[in-house]
Amino acid sequence: MNQATRWRFALAKQIAAAYAQNPNTQVVMIAGSVGRGRADRYSDIEVDVYYTEPPTEAERTAAVENCGGLVKELDQDDDEWEEQMLIGGFHAASSTFLVITMERYLREVIDECQIAPLAQVRLYSLQHAVTIKGEAQVEQWRAKAAAYPDGLVRAMLEKYLRFDGFGYAEEMLAARADLMLLYDIFVRIGRQILGALLGLNRLYMPTPDHLKWMDEMIDAMPLKPDHLSTRLKQAFRLEPDQGVTLLKEVIVEIFDLVDRHAPGFETQPYRAKLEKRRPVWDAPPAGIAGLD
């Protein structure tokens, strides 16, 4: 545990203890980079909480105050309650769910093989967070999450191996030096590369866009093209046409990995799509008078 993590983890335990006092609380975990032991000077604190019943506003405010924090913002959506707080000016946040919500996420991802990015993020957090309360419940959830199903591998590959954005405009944009548009495509293709490899490696999405902490994510992948992180970054530093070529080489290597490690998944339609090119015309079409 590095120094940046050490003091953040101690503070996170104080926050977690305040939430654990509530009898409505079944599970409390220290999540994010602090829970993974990878915090740096930019990291805040994330605490995951699971209640039996929806929390009241009074419960939410009390948890923040009991750990010595000031409420910065209370937010919520259909699945999550979030308390943004400041402790001595330092930012921390809780992500609060119901127990039945985690059980729904597990059903959607494991039983129904839905890609469900937000549900996958919760399963990733479940696997990597440090449990403060509810160890038995967490172990039960983790046992189910460990069984990454074949159907989810297929669903992830079907979605991300399309590499939408390549095969039409990238060579034109490189030739024209339209770099803002070209690099926007590079980012989208990078996201698809990582999404396909997460599925092939049976790893859940760490974030909905699976780009944050990219090096750490790639390090966790046994199956990947050589020097993947370096090459993805290098695509932005090379001449534009060379960056296009590099990314296409990476994609072909991913197809080869899928052929070897996902038997029964047919990559040929995806390879054919990648080979399509925008037509180039250096001379007028034949047989049309008056264009010479």
Tens digits of residue pLDDT in 122-172 = 999 999 999 999 999 999 999 999 999 999 999 999 999 999 878 778 888
CA angle 290, 176, 242 (to 5 degrees): 125
- Asked if residue 217 and residue 117 are part of one domain, the reply reads no
Same domain, residue pair 82 and 137: yes
Strand partners, 83: 74, 94
> Quick check: 78 pLDDT over 80?
yes
**Distance of alpha carbon 153 from alpha carbon 196, whole angstroms:** 9
Please state whether beta strands 45-51 and 90-98 pair in parallel, antiparallel, or not at all (unpaired). parallel
Over residues 240-262, the pLDDT tens digits come to 999 999 999 999 999 999 999 99
For residues 191 and 92, state if they share a domain: no
> Strand, helix or coil at 28?
strand
**Residue 18: inside a domain:** yes
Instruction: Say what the pLDDT of residue 40 is.
Output: 93
Q: Are residues 186 and 271 in the same domain?
A: yes
The reported pLDDT for the residue numbered 292 is 60
Confidence tier at 280 by pLDDT (50, 70, 90): confident
124 and 181 in one domain? no
Note whether 240 and 174 are within 8 A (CB). Answer: yes
Last residue of a domain, one of 98, 113, 145: 145
Does 139 share its domain with 170?
no
Mark whether 132 and 170 lie in a shared domain.
Answer: no
Residues 97 and 173 in one domain: no
Domain hosting 212: range is: 150-275
pLDDT tens digits, 166-225: 877 888 889 899 999 999 999 999 999 999 999 999 999 999 887 888 999 999 999 999
The model's pTM is 0.92
Map tokens 């932005």 to a residue.
236
CB of 144 closer than 8 Å to CB of 110: yes
User: Has residue 82 been placed in a domain?
Assistant: yes
Q: What 3-state class would DSSP assign to 241?
A: helix
Q: Judge if 268 and 157 occupy the same domain.
A: yes
The pLDDT of residue 237 is 96
pLDDT of amino acid 274: 85
In angstroms, what CA-CA distances link 105 with 16, 102, 123, 217? 23, 5, 8, 21
| pLDDT at 281 > cutoff 90 | no
280 vs 96, residue with greater confidence: 96
Assess if residue 282 is contained within a domain.
Answer: no
Residue 224 belongs to a domain: yes
pLDDT band at residue 291, thresholds of 50, 70 and 90?
low
* CB neighbour class for 182 (10 Å; exposed up to 12, middle 13-18, buried from 19): buried
Same domain assignment for residues 115 and 156: no
Percentage, residues of the chain above pLDDT 70: 99
175 plus 155 within the same structural domain = yes
Domain count, the chain: 2
Between 274 and 53, residue with greater pLDDT: 53
pLDDT at residue 102, as a whole number: 97
Clarify whether residues 22 and 136 are in a common domain: yes
Can you give the CATH number for the domain in which 137 is found? 3.30.460.10
